Amino acid sequence: MDDPLIIAGKSLKSRFLLGTGKFKNKSELTETILKSGAEIVTVALRRIDLERHADNILAFIPENITLMTNTSGARNAAEAIRIAQIARAAGYGNWIKIEVINDSKYLLPDNAETIKAVEKLASDGFIVLPYMNPDLYTARDLVKAGAAAVMPLGSLIGSNQGLKTKTMLEILIEEIDEVPIIVDAGIGRPSQAAQALEMGVAAVLVNTAVATADQPVLMAQAFSKSIEAGRMAYLAKLASASDLASASSPLSGALFE
């Protein structure tokens, strides 16, 4: 079935974006990415730790994967812009996940600063996917500013609480049709990922739930299947839920008339 996910003109088969943080074994990362089917993974930028010669994470990311560098660490638009520029200078493409967080308690994104960062970076030719607190006005502004997608949180980063923001996500799904909606943060179980896809989001980004699982490779596979299932259910147009019972076999022609 031809149902590609299109982001910034790039055609993707997988609706599973994978984060690479919090993995206990980098060596597991490669197989996890492969088994997930993800075509886009996120990475971050940090000062090199000159004491420990840690292996460069790039060595563990398979060849054809699109790298999306997040601007983690940025507390305002200016810092996010700077990180994006540094990322581009590394020579691995210009896909950037804007993450502007000035809140160490909840790790909630600053929507206003995010809009500013998108405005500047999109006009400088970056492919920008902003992480946001689901808000319709912000989503509209991000689209206007040139975002290639919008990435509303499902629940707080790392909380594994699923789609706490469901009502707001439904509004975005209803109103934002210019760019894909990718739920990012808080998805803790494959069933939650399936739920998101059933609702009509274009894709999900998952990190903690896979990286911190006992068996990340197996968990990645589980997510991959659930994301596919959710999407298929969405395409098949789910039956509407009803308070009233409705027998699956029609009453006429009953056996004992």
Partner 1 sequence: MQIRVNGEIRDFPEAGKINHLLQTLGLTLEGIVVTLNQTILKKTEWDQIIIKENDVIELISFVGGG
> Could you tell me which residues are beta bridge partners of residue 182?
203
Residue 53 binding partner 1, by CB under 8 A: yes
Measured distance CA(129)–CA(150) in Å, rounded:
6
Is 166 a catalytic site residue?
no
Find the binding residues for partner 1 in span 231-250 (CB under 8 A): none
Report the nearest approach of partner 1 to the CB of residue 216 (Å): 12
Residues whose CB falls within 8 Å of the CB of residue 99, separated by 6 or more in sequence, listed in order: 70, 71, 72, 74, 80, 109, 131
Owner of token pair 């975002």: 147
Tell which one of 1, 48, 236, 244 touches partner 1 (CB under 8 A): 48
Nearest CA to 192 out of 157, 226, 167 is that of 226
Report the nearest approach of partner 1 to the CB of residue 19 (Å): 3
Residue 114 binding partner 1, by CB under 8 A: no
Find the binding residues for partner 1 in span 149-208 (CB under 8 A): 157, 185, 205, 207-208
- Count of residues near partner 1 by CB under 8 A: 37
Tell which one of 22, 125, 215, 218 touches partner 1 (CB under 8 A): 22
Nearest CA to 217 out of 27, 31, 83, 3 is that of 31
Nearer to partner 1, 47 or 237 (CB): 47
Measured distance CA(251)–CA(228) in Å, rounded:
35
Residue 43 binding partner 1, by CB under 8 A: yes
Residue 21 binding partner 1, by CB under 8 A: yes
The dihedral over CA atoms of 106, 112, 113, 119, expressed in degrees to the nearest 10, equals 140
Q: Which of 10, 22, 24, 97 is catalytic?
A: 97
Residue 90 binding partner 1, by CB under 8 A: yes
Measured distance CA(115)–CA(130) in Å, rounded:
8
- How many alpha carbons lie under 13 Å from residue 211 in its C-beta half-sphere? 20
Find the binding residues for partner 1 in span 58-77 (CB under 8 A): 58, 67, 69-70, 72
Residue 52 binding partner 1, by CB under 8 A: no
- List b or e across 84-97, with b for residues whose CB sees 16 or more CB atoms inside 10 angstroms: beebbeeebebbbb
Tell which one of 89, 244, 245, 254 touches partner 1 (CB under 8 A): 89
**Active site residues per annotation:** 97
Residues forming the site for partner 1 (CB under 8 A):
19-23, 26, 29, 42-48, 50, 53-54, 56-58, 67, 69-70, 72, 85-87, 89-92, 157, 185, 205, 207-208, 211
